[in-house]
Amino acid sequence: MNSLQEHVNPVKKVNLLDFDRKGLAAFFVGLGEKPFRATQLMKWIYQEDVYDFDAMSNLSKSLRAYLNEHCVIATPEIVIEQVASDGTIKWAMQTHCGNRIESVFIPEDDRNTLCISSQIGCALACTFCSTAQQGFNRNLAASEIIGQLFVAQNRVSKANRITNVVFMGMGEPLLNFDNVVASVNLMMDDFAYGLSKRRVTISSSGVVPAIERLGTACDVSLAISLHAVRDELRDELVPINKKYPLNMLMDACRENAKIAPRRFITFEYVMLDGINDTLEDARGLIKLLKTVPSKLNLIPFNPFPNSSYRCSSKETILKFKTLLNDAGIITTVRKTRGEDIDAACGQLVGQVADKSRRHLKLKNAA
């Protein structure tokens, strides 16, 4: 096996990890090659762990020479690794431009989940999320998204095969739509990682037009960061709600659910003491979710510096959960993982130079 070209700047060459199989086939056709070259190359990269073009013996000598001159296989590079007391691993990965993103590996008895980032920073300014306070730099390329899975799987070894991927790291995935879809296609491609569509989850704060597009572009599981049942409160917690209020969001969710009627949409709800955790809020959730096939994840708030929020008490969360379950809403409390290394939900920050214009980004959201 050959070592991965992690340090090559992909800006000057075509990074082949930016393409899903369809895109790779088009790339080869543009070179005058047959489309099946895409499958051959993917097998070498994703199944054989071969990254040296000269070792790809079923490619012609002239094609290998072209790939060596014009193409690269490059991923982000791990620069910091932190291991939590519960076995969770957080990696800070550096991109070719020097920015850092964070990914989290969460091992469990029945699965190994990788939480990945889709942007450097985030423009949506959700007030309870540490990432959102760091500003926004840019979208990640498809190679930088799939590269997180690539690097993580190699790091933990094939014995700890990653079975689930969640887009719940830094950034709003649906504001980087094309690159996210391309990377998801690779995750589910049998010639790449072959993950089930039920095991890849895209989480969104509610970019309604992109939710509508997602249903036809990519058949994956959808999670919605809800966090409030009243527009005035959600406007404060999740500011994109000002552009796409709850009635529009729930309409989009109902339409998305029609594509896979047996699949639930997961709604995420962070528990904030005295803010959104009353039994009246729980009853509002029951009313809001009753027309959507849904599961609800209650997320204990994870503190970060300069935040004014506190987590709801265990007793409050239990009462909240019980009321929802009794009403027929499948409700679970997310177990906090990696809190001692700031790897828990809402704590990822990376190293982001704020070029924010975050309100402009929000105004022009897909």
- CA 163, CA 166: separation in Å to the nearest integer? 10
Between helix 246-259 and helix 208-217 the angle, nearest 10°, is 0
Q: Report the sign of the C-alpha dihedral through residues 12, 15, 16, 21, in that order.
A: negative
- Fill in the amino acid letter for 26: A
- Looking at residue 347, its pLDDT comes to 45
Report how far apart, in Å, the C-alpha atoms of 333 and of each of 213, 237, 351 are. 30, 20, 30
Q: Is 345 a catalytic residue?
A: yes
- CA 199, CA 223: separation in Å to the nearest integer? 12
DSSP per-residue letters across 255-288: HHHHHSTTSPEEEEEEEBTTTS-SHHHHHHHHHH
- Looking at residue 231, its pLDDT comes to 97
- Structure-block tokens of residue 58: 């079923």
- CA 221, CA 202: separation in Å to the nearest integer? 6
- Looking at residue 1, its pLDDT comes to 41
- Looking at residue 248, its pLDDT comes to 97
Beta carbons within 10 angstroms of residue 32's beta carbon: 7
The CATH number for 77-363, chosen from 3.20.20.70, 3.30.1540.10, 2.40.50.100, 3.40.250.10, is 3.20.20.70
- Fill in the amino acid letter for 119: Q
Domain layout of the chain by residue ranges? 14-72, 77-363
**Of 297, 278, 157, 287, which is closest to residue 226 (Cα–Cα)?**
297
**Of 190, 135, 193, 129, which is closest to residue 165 (Cα–Cα)?**
193
- Looking at residue 362, its pLDDT comes to 42
CA 200 to chain CA mean position, Å: 9
- Looking at residue 55, its pLDDT comes to 97
For the segment 185-211, what is each residue's pLDDT rounded down to a tens digit? 999 999 999 999 889 999 999 999 999
Q: Yes or no: is domain 14-72 CATH 1.10.150.530?
A: yes
- CA 197, CA 33: separation in Å to the nearest integer? 31
Residue 3, phi then psi, degrees to nearest 5: -75, 145
DSSP per-residue letters across 301-352: PPP-TT----BPPHHHHHHHHHHHHHTT-EEEEPPP-SGGGT-STT----B-
User: Over the Cα atoms of the chain, what is R_g?
Assistant: 21
Residue 53 contacts residue 221 (beta carbons within 8 Å) = no
Percent of the chain past pLDDT 90, that is, above it, reads 70
For the segment 10-19, what is each residue's pLDDT rounded down to a tens digit? 458 999 999 9
List 122, 126, 253, 345, catalytic entry: 345
- CA 202, CA 185: separation in Å to the nearest integer? 12
Long-range contacts of 22-27 (CB under 8 A, 24+ apart): 22/185, 23/182
For the segment 289-337, what is each residue's pLDDT rounded down to a tens digit? 999 999 999 999 988 777 889 999 999 999 999 999 999 999 999 877 5
- Structure-block tokens of residue 86: 């519960």
Q: Count of alpha carbons within 13 Å of 131, Cβ hemisphere only?
A: 28
Q: Report the sign of the C-alpha dihedral through residues 73, 352, 206, 341, in that order.
A: positive
**Of 240, 213, 210, which is closest to residue 225 (Cα–Cα)?**
240
Place of tokens 């009627």: 261
Strand partners, 119: 139
For the segment 63-101, what is each residue's pLDDT rounded down to a tens digit? 999 999 999 999 999 999 999 888 899 999 999 888 889
- Looking at residue 3, its pLDDT comes to 41
List 102, 144, 172, 268, catalytic entry: 102
Q: Count of alpha carbons within 13 Å of 204, Cβ hemisphere only?
A: 30
Q: What is the pTM of this model?
A: 0.88
Q: Is 102 a catalytic residue?
A: yes
